[in-house]
Amino acid sequence: MDDIEDDTTIFSTLKSFKSLISCPDRSLLETEPAYGRSDLQKLYTKRVELEEAAERVRSHTSLLQLTQEKQQMELSHKRARIELEKEAHSSSRDLQREIDRNRELLMKIRRLEEREGKANQALNEQMENNKALKRDLEELHKKANEKDSKLAEADQMISELKDETRRLSQQIQIQESKFSTQNLEIQALQEQLDVQRKKFQDISQRYQNLQSSHSTSTESELKMKELERRLALQEQDAVIVKNMKSEVTRLPELEREMKRLREENSFLRETKENSSLLKEETEGLRRKLERMERVMEEKLKVELEKEKLERELQAWENIGQATGLNIRKPEDLSREVIQIQQRELSLKQQNYTLNSSVRSVEKARAELLPEIAQLRSKAQEEQKKRENQDSLVRRLQKRVLLLTKERDGMRAILESYDSELATSEYSPQLTLRVKEAEDMLHKVQTHNTDMETQLFKAQEEAGTFKLQAQMVTAELEALKEQQTSNAEKTTLATAEEISSLRQKIEELEAERQRLEEQNNILEMRLERHNLQGDYDPVKTKVIHLQMNPTSIAKQQRSEEVEQLRVECQRLRERLRKIEASGGMTTDDTTLIIPPSQEILDLRKQMESAELKNQRLKEVFQKKIQEFRTACYVLTGYQIDITVENQYRLTSVYAEHMEDSLLFKSTGPVGSGSMQLLETDFSRTLTGLVDLHLFHQKSIPVFLSAVTIELFSRQTVT
Amino acid sequence: MSKTLKGITLKGSAELVAEFFSFGINSILYQRGIYPAETFTRVTQYDMSLHLTTDSKLKNYLTNVISQLKEWLFDCTVQKLVVVITCLETNEVLERWQFDIECDKTAKESGAPREKSIKAIQEEIRSVIRQITATVTFLPLLETACAFDLLIYTDKDLEVPEQWEESGPQLIDQSEEVRLRSFTTSIHKVNSIVAYKRTDSM
């Protein structure tokens, strides 16, 4: 049991030892890789970020020049070298540190190994103990073998652990190398990062510069545009100035043309007057000409009439010669005419008597005519009768003939029958035949008689018709004769009637045609009016709805017009008000700005200034008048300025109104140097002029001398 | 439909004629531009596409007149229907569309339907409306704003209904007339005439 307990303690100590060995190794391994691993992660992330930043920066800095870069690169190279040295130093330091750490680790491992050795020694001791103990127990041997085996296993484990430690140490070395390389890389990247940062700064600076330059460039562009615009405006102005110049050059020409046109105008006006006068004259002359022509025509006519009358007179005078009635004067002619008239009267009387005899004869004739007609009719009747008788006779004769023929025939038949009777006895048949023949005969005879009666009747009728016809013809002939006799009497009357009737007929025909045409025209008009919409007020009427679109539209229109009128009125009143308040009288009120206070003040000022002006003028006028009268009274001369720089002096004592002296101002204005000009009056004062002006050269003395002279002249005379 | 398949009665004829007038007046208003074209819609009638107004006031007015006209057609007391187009600025009559109606009064007494196919009547009406559309080519342009009025010529002794009043015939002075086609339902015969103001006189 103790062995077991001992074994258990041994095992537990082994376990703890193993754990001890493994733990530090693990911890070492863990720390170092952990340390290495976290660092690596951070580095990696940093690297990614840096790469991204670098990409960004590279995109910004694509424009940079190569030389600068190269320089910078060189600089950076130098710097890098310096830094590399620094880094090398630092890395060497780190390396030393690492080496120290390694040494420490190795030391630890050695310690651990020493511990292991110690543990081995302990183990050996234990084994010895075990061997010592083996003797005690054979069972323990086995256990010890087992333990040995276990120990062997433990040894294996230990060797493995050793291997592991070696491996781990190798790994540590590898890791350390990696770490170093990565540190180097890190340093390089850091350098690059610094370089990039500097580049970035440079580039940002340059970007700012660019922006500023951009802004300046835009400003300059704007200025340029403005200048261009101004230039364009100036060009336009130049063009306008050119046009104006051209127009101005044309101005004198236009003035010349105007003068010419004015002259032409005046000339035309003169000629117009002349032409109007001439026109009046021509009209007068034309009228005269017309009158003369008319007079000429009348003269011609009168001459023709005269000739006619002469001819007539000649004819009248020749009548006497032509008729051979010894006519020399109209009285003879009248005598002849009277004679002829008397003859005519006598002849007319004869005519009337003859006419009356003719009428009586005709009456007798007319009475005789119907008698004749009657006799004729009687004669015709007699003739008719005779003809009838003749026809009767003929018929009777024919009848007789027929009868005789019948009788002969009958006789012959009888004889034949009698002859035949002797030969044979056909008496019944014969009697029958005889009867038949007799019947036939009767029939024929009756037929004959009928026919004859018919014929007779027809003939009678024909005869009566013939009689009638003949009577009618006789009457017609009588009437015709009457008509002709009547017509002989009244030929004139019937002819007149016929002609009048014909005329009437023609007139009626014409009127009918006219009326027909009128009718057609009226029908057409009516048709047209119907088309246009006319109607007969008696039969039809026209209605429509009261509220129809036309009336509604008209209403709306009138309302619109009213509204517009009202608005117009309102606007006019407003306009009037504005004009009254403003006081502006412009023809087309384009802008009616209500007059501001300034304008009103200015207007008032203007008015006051004008008033002042007016007053000043009046005052000046008065004063000058006073001064002039004072001068006149005191000096005795009235001084007038007729022309610029010329002064006319008229003396109080002048004998005539026109006596005046003329002085002209010479030299600069206001100097007072005067010269006397020649006038009629001054020629009379030559002595004084010589004395006072030429010799004494004093105008006031001269003037006073003249006054004295005139005064003396006046008082003396 | 009061028109029997066999023939046309007086009532049916009055309806046909009133229908024709309703569409005819709408066509005239559209063609002459009295009302703006966008206030009209298209409907199918007589196998052709016709214009019909959508303006409510105008529709009201037309239905009033046409319904009254149908009564008078049935009584055979109406003689003419006239569409008068007036210029609003000068108050002158510019155009007159006159439809003369001849009514066979014996149809009133007999009451027997007459033999005439509806197809034939519609064919005739179609040709009249086509002619109305075609008149646009020779009628003078209506440049100013215009309004229209409907006048009805009736017998003198007819009782004038409440909202109606008598008016003048509103003739055009110096007019040119053109006769258009006519159509007949065998009871009513409608002749169409268009009269317009001569332009050279204006």
Answer for the pair A646, A664: CB distance below 8 angstroms, yes or no: yes
SS3 A240: helix
pLDDT at A254: 94
Q: Which residues of B touch A557 (CB under 8 A)?
A: 88
d(C-alpha A295, C-alpha A292), whole Å:
5
pLDDT at A1 over 70: no
Tens digits of residue pLDDT in A593-613:
666 788 899 999 999 999 999
Angle at A594 between CA A588 and CA A598, to 5 degrees: 120
The band of A422, judged by pLDDT with boundaries at 50, 70 and 90, is: low
C-beta of residue A599 within 8 angstroms of C-beta of residue A610? no
Please identify among residues 531-570 of chain A the ones whose CB lies closer than 8 Å to any CB of chain B: 531-535, 537-554, 557
Instruction: Provide the total of helices (H) and of strands (E) in chain A, helices listed first.
Output: 11, 5
Q: Is B178 exposed, middle or buried (0-12, 13-18, 19+ CB in 10 A)?
A: middle
- Complex ipTM, two decimals? 0.86
Tens of pLDDT, residues A148-173:
888 888 888 989 989 989 999 999 99
Closest alpha carbon within chain B to A550: B147
Chain A positions touching B84 (Cβ under 8 A) are 550
DSSP for B127-156, please give it. Answer: HHHHHHHHGGGTSPP--S-EEEEEEEEEET
For A480-498, what is the mean pLDDT? Answer: 77
Confidence class of residue A267 from pLDDT cuts 50, 70 and 90?
very high
User: Sign of the CA dihedral A266, A268, A273, A274?
Assistant: positive
CB contact under 8 A, A539 and B152: no
Nearest CB to B61 within list A528, A541, A545: A545
Using 50, 70 and 90 to split pLDDT, how confident is the model at B3? very low
Crossing angle for the helix pair A427-489 and A491-532, nearest 10 degrees? Answer: 90
Model pLDDT, residue A4: 59
Verify whether the Cβ–Cβ distance A537 to B61 is below 8 Å. no
B61 contacts chain A (CB < 8 A): yes
pLDDT tens-digit profile of B48-94? 999 999 999 999 999 999 999 999 998 889 999 999 999 988 889 99
Q: Summarize pLDDT for A501-559 with one digit per residue, the tens.
A: 999 999 999 999 999 999 999 999 888 888 877 777 888 889 998 888 999 999 999 99
pTM over 0.80: no
Residue B142 touches chain A, beta carbons under 8 Å: no
DSSP at A689: I
How do residues A368-414 score in pLDDT, each as one tens digit? Answer: 999 999 999 999 999 999 999 999 999 999 999 999 999 998 898 88
Give the nearest partner residue to A550 out of B82, B86, B96, using CB atoms: B86
A554·B64 Cβ contact <8 A: no
From residue A629, give the alpha-carbon distance in Å to each of A71, A421, A621, A646, B157: 111, 210, 12, 19, 108
**Mean pLDDT taken over chain A:** 87
What separation in angstroms does the CA of A416 have from each of A407, A408, A412, A423?
14, 12, 6, 11
| B153 with A532: Cβ contact below 8 A | no
Cα–Cα distance list, A575 to A561, A581, A586, A591 (Å): 21, 10, 12, 12
Note whether A542 contacts B166, CB cutoff 8 Å. yes
Nearest alpha carbon to residue A325 among A313, A311, A335? A335
Partners of residue B195 in chain A, C-beta under 8 Å: 531-533
Minimal Cα distance from B61: which residue of A? A548
How distant is the Cα of B4 from the closest Cα of chain A, in angstroms? 33
| 3 state DSSP class of A543 | strand
In the stretch 232-271 of chain A, residues with CB closer than 8 A to chain B read none
Residue A485: count other Cβ atoms within 10 Å of its Cβ. 17
pLDDT of residue A592: 55
The first and second tokens of residue A510, run together, are 């014409």
pLDDT tens digits for A67-124?
888 888 888 888 888 888 888 888 888 888 888 988 898 889 888 888 889 988 998 9
Beta-carbon separation of A542 and B84 below 8 A: no
Write out the E strands in A556-677. 637-641, 646-651, 661-665, 674-677
Residue owning tokens 């009532």 = B11
The structure tokens listed for A517 are 């045409």
Instruction: Give the distance from CA B185 to its chain's centroid.
Output: 15
> Is residue A325 scored above 50 in pLDDT?
yes
Looking up tokens 């043309």, which residue turns up? A257
pLDDT at residue A7 greater than cutoff 70 = no
